[in-house]
Amino acid sequence: MEVRSEWGSTLGLGTADIEQTSINIVQWALGMLGLVAVVMIILGGYKWMTAGGNEESITQAKQLISAAVVGLIIVLLAWAIVIFVVGATTNATRIQP
């Protein structure tokens, strides 16, 4: 079955490739999550620097930084998995001449 690109524009759906669109959405979401993790690391560092020697605040800041680093590692691993899966499925579904 042949998919015609003019059908999307005729129906008002656009002509973007669904595969590339979904990859862009996932990469955007992972980019935002990575940005949140970096901001949390900065906030943890700020909290630590302004703790004034208060051990409880320092402990909370360390926990915040640790959680943000773990979150950042998870986001980076998720990004790597997405890139691997997209590459594997693209290569597996490509028609060989």
Confidence of residue 96 (pLDDT cuts 50, 70, 90): low
Note if the pTM is more than 0.85: no
* Domain 16-91, second-level architecture: Up-down Bundle (1.20)
**In this structure, is the dihedral angle defined by the CA atoms of residues 45, 51, 56 and 57, taken in order, positive or negative?**
negative
Mean pLDDT for all residues in the chain = 84
Residue-wise pLDDT for 28-47, tens only, equals 999 999 999 999 999 999 99
> What is the reported pLDDT for 85?
87
